[in-house]
Amino acid sequence: MNTTKTIQSALISVFDKTGLEPIVRQLHKQNATIYSTGGTEDFIKNLGIPVVPVEDVTSYPSILGGRVKTLHPKVFGGILNRQDNPTDVEQMKEFDIPQIDLVIVDLYPFEKTVASGASEADIIEKIDIGGISLIRAAAKNFKDTVIVPSVEEYELFLEMITQGNGATTLDQRKYLATRAFHVSSNYDTAIFNYFNTEDTYYKESIANGQVLRYGENPHQKGFFFGDFDAMFTKLHGKELSYNNLLDVDAAVNLIAEFKENEPTFAILKHNNACGLATRKTMKEAYLAALACDPTSAFGGVLMANGKIDTATAAEINSLFCEVVIAPNYDAEAIEILQEKKNRIILTINEVPLPERQVRTCLNGLLVQDRNNITDSKEDLKTVTQVSPTNQEVEDLLFASKICKNTKSNTIVFAKNNTLIASGTGQTSRVDALKQAIEKAHTFGFELKGASMASDAFFPFPDCVEIAHQAGITAVIQPGGSIKDDLSINYCNENKLAMVFTGTRHFKH
């Protein structure tokens, strides 16, 4: 059975006419009859190419301000008829319905209209009715009908008919139908999400998927769905991997906590900070961050909250690192960082992050609001007889921001706006604390006078006791344990300052 079909007629009704002209000229060259409406009809006429108005077929004008143009049995019959079905063939003759072999549509730009801040009335008018119906009809009947569902497919379709001399194969028609159902489902999802106010409904459709080299491990396939180029300008380096992207995400979320601070530099490994410091210059901040854990910094992701200058770049260049991110760079700094062929250099742009976070779980999804609470001075409630000093308050808040962005269970030590050490992802808070103490000692940090943050409350006084013996003088935690008094009493007996925030920051 021959499944290749030559296009002898086409219905064209598009919003975006970019790239449409060569298609129209190719169809005309192949002697195809072209039907059209409105602005598209005028566009084709202006090319000097014959076009049949749809109202000549339907004997009905465009009505209701253009809301109803193509919604007619003679149009949809021409698209949906099954050419190997005798009853369909007879009815086509009976009702004088013209065959339509090709439908080209580009929908009203609903998402762009919403993003522009337009009025609700303007947004509603950009909900395409006729176009979406034409797409679904032609895609359903891909056995006989070709569908070109958006401007994104113009170039591909032109290549098909040019190479095929006006004919398409069944595989090509089915592929275009797949693209069509993607367009229609993506469009409907955008409209639903504009109207939706129910938290228990979740729909998402992202059009621009990117194939990654692999997933977490080489035997796993990996994909990224999102607009990476809107968020970052890539200046240099190899393609980002699945793991790179996870670390970049962690870096972006962490540095966002320090956006308004003086020069701050973070070094991350496996989604956790292994170095972070705030200083008067970016070079000083980088060197202080690196000193926290120079071993873990090897192969890490680096991010600054401000410009990376030449002096900072020269220091970074001696470290093997996967990714460097900053809002901007000195020109010479870029040249220095580009000396390593594979090092990825990114400029981050101002792009809002999703307000909801999504991850797979069991046979479904977990969805939650983004943790947008950052502990501030106003949130602190001193619960001990000793109050923290001004410097300790700074360090407590500094440590709390890191704690919030570190895998639970976690303990973070900070001193003079510097991450001293952290215990991350431990099954008990005591283990996290002991890990942090060991790391601090390993890299020669003095814990006397340092501050400690915990992502959740202390159910027993053991953590404050161990921390006190290590030299910690101030503690920040959410509070809320039925045994809070045990920790408070220990702090009072040993002259430690402790503040509650009232907000837990688990990160699983």
Q: Which of 164, 103, 173, 104 is nearest to 143 (CA)?
A: 173
Catalytic residue among 17, 143, 236, 270: 270
Query: Phi/psi of residue 453, each to 5°?
Result: -120, 145
CB 476 within 8 A of CB 397: yes
CB 202 within 8 A of CB 360: no
Which residues are within 8 A (CB) of 26 and not within 5 positions of it... i.e. 6 or more apart?
158, 161, 162, 166
Based on the residue annotation, tell me whether 270 is a catalytic residue of this protein. yes
Catalytic residue among 140, 182, 236, 434: 140
- Report the greatest alpha carbon distance in the chain: 98
Report the C-alpha gap between 462 and 138 in whole angstroms.
69
Please report where in the chains the tokens 């170039």 appear, as a residue. Answer: 155
Report the C-alpha gap between 52 and 37 in whole angstroms.
9
DSSP 464-482: HHHHHHHT--EEEE----T
Report the C-alpha gap between 288 and 356 in whole angstroms.
34
Task: Give, in order, the Cα–Cα distances in Å from 247 to each of 267, 303, 482.
Answer: 10, 10, 36
Q: Which of 291, 208, 303 is nearest to 251 (CA)?
A: 303
CB 278 within 8 A of CB 261: yes
Answer positive or negative: Cα dihedral of 480, 486, 492, 494. Answer: negative
Three-class SS string for 349-382? CCCCCCCEEEEEECCEEEEEECCCCCCCHHHCEE
Pairing of strands 5-6, 167-168: antiparallel
Beta bridge partners of 419: 414
Report the C-alpha gap between 346 and 237 in whole angstroms.
9
Pairing of strands 321-326, 232-236: unpaired
CB 437 within 8 A of CB 421: yes
Beta bridge partners of 367: 358
Answer positive or negative: Cα dihedral of 11, 13, 16, 18. Answer: positive
CA 453 to chain centroid, in Å, comes to 30
Residues in the chain: 508
Please give the structure tokens belonging to residue 220. 């796993």
Which residues are within 8 A (CB) of 491 and not within 5 positions of it... i.e. 6 or more apart?
384, 386, 464, 468, 475, 497, 498
Please give the positions annotated as active site: 140, 270
